[in-house]
Amino acid sequence: MRAIALSCFLLNTMLWATFYAVSKEALARIDNFVFSFLEVGSLLPAVALILYGSWRRQPAAFTRALVVRGVKLGGVLALAIFTSTLALKHTTATNTAFFPSLNGIMAALIARGLLKRPIAAMTWIAGLIASAGALLMIFEGPINGAHWRGDLIALLAAFFYTCYIFRVDHDIHQEDTSPWPLFGIEVATMIVLTGIGAALLGDWSAVHPVFPKDLFVILYIGFGTTLLPTAISIFMQKHASPVTVAFIYIFEPIWSALLARLYLGESLTLRGYLGGALIVSGALLHTWQTVRPAAPALAEA
How far apart (Å, rounded) are the C-alpha atoms in residues 282 and 54?
A: 40
Higher-pLDDT residue of 211, 301: 211
Section 78-92 average pLDDT: 84
97-124: b or e for each residue (b if 16 or more CB lie within 10 Å)? Answer: bbbbbbbbbbbbebbbeeeeeebbeebb
Amino acid residing at 232: I
In tens, the pLDDT along 96-126 reads 767 777 777 888 888 888 878 888 888 888 8
119, 64 contact by CB (below 8 A): no
pLDDT of residue 299: 42
In tens, the pLDDT along 237-277 reads 988 888 888 888 877 777 777 776 776 666 667 777 787 78
pLDDT of residue 23: 85
**In the structure, how many helices (H) and strands (E) does the chain have?**
14, 0
pLDDT of residue 94: 64
Amino acid residing at 271: R
In tens, the pLDDT along 7-60 reads 999 899 889 888 877 887 888 899 989 999 999 999 999 999 999 999 999 899
**Considering the chain, what is the average pLDDT of its residues?**
84
pLDDT of residue 144: 45
Helix 121-138 × helix 103-113 angle, to 10°: 140
